[in-house]
Chains A and B, each alone.
Chain A
Amino acid sequence: MANQKVETEAVLKGKVRKEFAWKIISDYSRYEFFMENVDKINILERTPTEGKSEWFVTIEEAPLKWVERDYYDVDNYELRFESIGGDFESIRGRWKVENFQNEGIKIFFTIEYDLGIPVIEEVLGHILKEKMKTNIDSMIHAIKEELTKSQDDDRKYPRYNIGKYNNISLNNKLVRAFIVNVSKKGMMFYYDGEFDAQNILVKIQDIALEAEALFNDLKHKNIRIIFKQIITQTQLESLVGFLGSDSIRAYERENIDKYMPIIFSDSAYSAFVINISPKGILFRYDGTFDWRDEMFELAGVKLLAREVHHEIASKTIRIAFTDTLNDIFYADLLKKINHYDVGQQQMELGF
């Protein structure tokens, strides 16, 4: 008998993100906790894009088991799977999350199966199909419930917008991340480095928090972590105060937009400094220019940097300081740049 196909979909309206749904759908290890028909799923193998899992499911008191290969396409929020053994001759399908109209998401879930027992599968035909449909309906309903619960939690624990780069420690590694928001339950940030998303230890100043990633949108480097324990109001206030503070050295770039001399020991160039950060400088130089990896002076401050990018067409050059500037040094440099005037430049250039 040919493969039978059942499909279902669910729409969630409102400010619900695909990443949330993806996190829940792609985390098989949690299915047994919120899907009634799933008895157990053993994760046998898992990489960011592929996996192998062993399923134990009960459909109306009928125990079914199979092993499947899973293919995770995080960019498209699509999870495909195909059995490689088990009670069904074959079972394959996919989860897919898409944006829905202007606001909300739509989740698709499709399964194609072949029971593979001649006669019985023909006799059962539409009966088994109905049961499989009920089964996938209940699975997608469980996903929707889980998603709604997660949104309810969000409403229960309001988020405080931060919108700043900050230094945080992720698993004992100091990283620079753009903190979007923080709540008693978790925080959201952008970070393009790698880290263990299952067991996270976040340290912010003297506050250490254990967490796990609710979703990790690899495409957009957008990560939401959930604290293993809801933090106290005092801890939250400390976090908001600290993460929202301007006193922290920022890697975000300060716009300068003025001509300034870049002075080497034997020559000087008038460059249009576009921006600066503790990491480096972006400037434009209209003439022919080859960066020299040696000490130079800017606004009276001696610096060492190397060229990282030189765009010929727009004549913009990005240089990176050999060592990231510390807070005091950088604050002093910024102050001198801000106070730098054209007259001083003319003098330095020898006009």
Chain B
Amino acid sequence: MENDLQNLKNPKVAFIAHPTDMNMYRSYIRYLKPDKTYDDKLLLKLFEWSPSYKIAEWKNLSFDNIDFFDAMFVMVPFLPEMKDISLKKIVEKIDQALTIASDKNYSVAALGAFTSIVLQGQEKDFAQKHNMVLTSGNSLTAATIVRSIEQISSTLGVALDECTLGIIGASGDIGSACVAYMQNKVKAMILTARSEASLQTMVKSLASGSGCDMKLTTDNKAAVAKSDIVLFVTSSYVPMFSQNDFMPGTIVCDASAPLNVRVSSQLRDDVFIYHGGILSLPFTIDPGFDIGLASPNTFYGCQIEGALLALDASLPYSWGRGNISMKKIGDFIRKLYTVPNLRIAYSVGTHTYLQANLHKYKQVFSRIKNKQFLECA
């Protein structure tokens, strides 16, 4: 009885999400029907026909064992590979997902992956319709990314202020927030997007002007080749690079969904690649199937932003594009410091980096740096 009452009081966040690519969807189908394989075209159509539906619900989750919240995972049956699906149909599915959540008195919905992009510009209407707080979760994602870069470069002994940071997909919502935050932290930045014009517009909008040398280009390969740290924040749904495309001593933060860098089971020891924007939790979010994370104790920053909003109504939500202010990033970076047991996770594929791994990488990176120094001298 006490528990039931507690449940009723708990703030509630709905994780609205979809598989980021065909591989993840196939893996989901294998989880549902392990003994059978299906034609991709058939699977895509079945998914396209499906309305949104609830996958799982978790009660009494807590970071600190003081404040509790409930969470629900609602599947929006959509994949970027669906070539023929209309935007209207996707919006309809997101609307169905929000209805599922609002019908159960969920107060916050975190729109994962493409769902937030699709709903851009309509957030207010849908928030009013469902009487919910909607968020793309991009602010916490951006905060997690920039802090992870600061943190890992320090851990690996890489001086940020001597580095060139390449940002692939820099004109997007998260990308531009990362540019704004990192411009005063690194020596130089190479920013890429599908169009240079969008980069110029974004750079002009930077509040305090550029704090570092900035190069704008549409050439992703050149950017990757000349960067010490590469950040991927694109909406490309096909891998753009493999782990072998990077120079030794490069830090690669792949925060795209789906991931832009293909890694093999044998990771390189001279390039540090990790899945950006992921947080480590004191509880598990385990729907039972692969959601692209190395551990059920980690989850996407964009979704956790929803949980933090549910617990703290004073936090800002993330809507639209270009609205992630430095204040918002600051608010969420503070949360990363103050919310107990909420940490930045370093993992890639099924591999989670342990402290010992990081120490090894630090040694390798140090050797590479010394070698480069001697060559220059």
Contacts and interface: CB of A to CB of B under 8 A. Distances in A.
Nearest to A118: B32
Interface residues of B, number: 17
A342 interface: no
A126 to B, nearest CB: 10
A313 interface: no
Contacts of B84: 61
B41 A63 contact: yes
Interface in A71-122: 87, 115-120
B45 A117 contact: no
A124 B49 contact: yes
Given A124-B49, A127-B50, A131-B49, A117 B42 contact: no
Contacts of A115: 46
Contacts of A119: 32, 53
A123 B53 contact: yes
A123 B50 contact: yes
A32 to B, nearest CB: 19
A320 interface: no
A155 B374 CA distance: 97
A115 B42 CA distance: 12
B52 to A, nearest CB: 9
B368 interface: no
Contacts of A62: 41-42, 45-46, 49
A283 B47 CA distance: 77
Interface in A50-64: 60-64
Contacts of A87: 38-39, 42
Contacts of B50: 120, 123-124, 127
B33 A118 contact: yes
A118 B34 CA distance: 11
B282 interface: no
A120 B26 CA distance: 13
Contacts of B32: 117-120
A117 B37 CA distance: 11
Given A116-B33, A117-B33, A64 B53 contact: no
A24 interface: no
Query: Which of B32, B38, B49 has the most chain A CB atoms inside 10 A of its CB?
Result: B49
A87 B37 CA distance: 8
A117 B49 contact: no
Interface in A122-161: 123-124, 127-128, 131
B132 interface: no
B41 A117 contact: no
Contacts of B42: 62-64, 87
7 contacts: A60-B49, A61-B41, A62-B49, A63-B42, A120-B46, A124-B49, A128-B49
Given A115-B46, A123-B77, A128-B46, 6 more contacts: A62-B49, A64-B42, A118-B33, A119-B32, A119-B53, A131-B49
Which 7 pairs between the two chains have the least Cβ-Cβ distance?
A: A62-B45, A123-B53, A123-B50, A117-B33, A118-B32, A62-B42, A127-B49
